[in-house]
Amino acid sequence: MSQTQTLRAWLLTDTPTSRRHAKLSAIYQGWLSFRSNTMAMIGLGILVLLVLVAAAAPILAPHDPFAQDLGNRLAPLWSDSHVFGTDSLGRDILSRLIYGARITLYIVGLVALIAPILGLLVGTVSGYVGGWVDVVLMRITDIFLAFPRLVLALAFVAALGAGIENAVLAISLTAWPPYARIARAETLTIRSSDYISAIQLQGAGALRIITKHIWPLCISSLIVRVTLDMAGIILAAAGLGFLGLGAQPPSPEWGAMISEGRRFILDHWWVATVPGLAIFTVSLAFNLLGDGLRDVLDPKAGE
């Protein structure tokens, strides 16, 4: 047997010899299950391509995304060296689209770091401690859930001021309650487990139990929810940019590009349509990826 076949057999064994072996085997079997989902692989491929495009933006962009050419404004598709035409200031739309991928990934990455961690902290503390702490934290969560996400984000941005960092903070402050709900539900189930009682009898404190034993079991559910929420986060960021409350001009943010192009939608439709298609494609990719991860990390959800 070749070395590759030996490694594959070692990863697919039903009798792992160590904890590390069991983890690697579970990861590999999860990857095989995920790889068999064609739509999920398409979503992953689109997102990998987006990351590569954002990383190589200076190389791939045919023009300076900020350079104006008023003599060539609103050029149509495939005109000269402008594949997707130009906007109202003569800037190359393709170049701005490529650089806009960086802004999209920046927003998505920060929100994906802030909101789930905040929700995980609130949910696990609420579910494990219980009592008045649970009541207070869940009522605060209910207050945030009572408002539509975009409306609440608009209120926060109006209070904090326009800008991409404030937009990220506003979206994060509106995105954490669902994660807190999921983490609390998981914690209430785990808290009554026999092994948690055994850990308590060994003298482990609440902080150690939450961080070492409850958080790891909540991660898989949160990863699925984060991936599925990315489309909504992208749309919220684009909505703020569309209203002029997100990334400020001349930043090539996709929502702001749609806002600029809406004035010419009838005669020069590509100015708004191209960034709109980019938002649609990336949002769809995150949804496809999330569905695939849900099947792998939470098989019962697909039944």
Residue 3 in domain: no
Q: What total number of domains does the chain contain?
A: 1
279, two tokens: 């938002």
Residue 156 in domain: yes
Q: What is the pLDDT of residues 9-62, one digit of tens each?
A: 777 777 777 778 788 888 888 888 888 889 999 999 999 999 999 999 999 999
Residue 244 in domain: yes
Q: Which residues pair with 82 in a beta bridge?
A: 79
Residue 195 in domain: yes
Residue 1 in domain: no
Residue 5 in domain: no
Instruction: Assess whether pLDDT exceeds 60 at residue 303.
Output: no
Instruction: Assess whether pLDDT exceeds 80 at residue 7.
Output: no
Query: Where in the sequence is the domain holding 292, given as residue range(s)?
Result: 20-302
Angstrom distance (rounded) from CA 165 to CA 107: 8
The helix (H) or strand (E) run that includes residue 114 is helix 93-129
Determine what percent of the chain is predicted with pLDDT higher than 70: 97
> What pLDDT, on a 0 to 100 scale, did the predictor assign at position 2?
63
Q: What is the pLDDT of residues 60-93, one digit of tens each?
A: 999 899 988 888 888 888 887 888 888 888 899 9
* For range 270-292, the mean pLDDT: 91
Instruction: Assess whether pLDDT exceeds 90 at residue 188.
Output: no
185, two tokens: 């539900």
Q: How far, in Å, are 49, 161, 263, 296 from residue 89 at the CA level? A: 28, 26, 13, 47
Q: What is the pLDDT of residues 240-253, one digit of tens each?
A: 888 888 878 888 88
Give the CATH number of the domain where residue 168 resides.
Answer: 1.10.3720.10
Instruction: Quote the DSSP letter at residue 79.
Output: B
Angstrom distance (rounded) from CA 263 to CA 50: 28
pTM of this prediction? Answer: 0.85
Residue 4 in domain: no
Instruction: Assess whether pLDDT exceeds 50 at residue 302.
Output: no
Residue 33 in domain: yes
